[in-house]
Amino acid sequence: AQRVTQPEKLLSVFKGAPVELKCNYSYSGSPELFWYVQYSRQRLQLLLRHISRESIKGFTADLNKGETSFHLKKPFAQEEDSAMYYCALSGISSGSARQLTFGSGTQLTVLP
């Protein structure tokens, strides 16, 4: 079974401070990992995926297979980063097709 854990439901940081949103996963195979973001009154949307190794809106995330983690980081948080962040894993489930499984989410608030 595949599982994604986001230990922090709420996270508050001050503008300009570094931010790290934690994500741990459980999966026996080779996972594909993603971060999705939901801004207030907007749809859930893809922020980044580990295979692209991109920095989106200043955010980066590194897959650490040894620690089974995919933490999202940004060196200097901005107020517009306030949103709900979901970590997600794509893996083979009980069937033969890949399934996208989400964590429970972390609500990030960036204080002025």
Partner 1 sequence: KAGVTQTPRYLIKTRGQQVTLSCSPISGHRSVSWYQQTPGQGLQFLFEYFSETQRNKGNFPGRFSGRQFSNSRSEMNVSTLELGDSALYLCASSLVGGGGTEAFFGQGTRLTVV
Residue of the chain from 37, 83, 89, 110 that contacts partner 1 (CB under 8 A): 89
Q: Give the C-alpha separation, 35 to 61, whole Å.
A: 8
The CB-of-53 to partner 1 minimum distance in angstroms stands at 16
Among the residue ranges 18-26, 40-48, 53-61, 69-77, the one whose residues contact partner 1 (CB under 8 A): 40-48
Residue 109: which region, alpha, beta or left (left: phi > 0; alpha: psi -120 to 50)?
beta
101 binds partner 1 (CB under 8 A): yes
Q: Give the C-alpha separation, 34 to 46, whole Å.
A: 7
Q: Is 87 helix (H, G, I), strand (E, B) or coil?
A: strand
The CB-of-37 to partner 1 minimum distance in angstroms stands at 11
Closer to partner 1 by Cβ: residue 45 or 78: 45
Closer to partner 1 by Cβ: residue 42 or 66: 42
**Are the CB atoms for 38 and 83 separated by under 8 Å?**
yes
88 binds partner 1 (CB under 8 A): yes
Residues that bind partner 1 (CB under 8 A): 6, 32, 34, 36, 43-46, 49, 86, 88-90, 93-95, 97-105
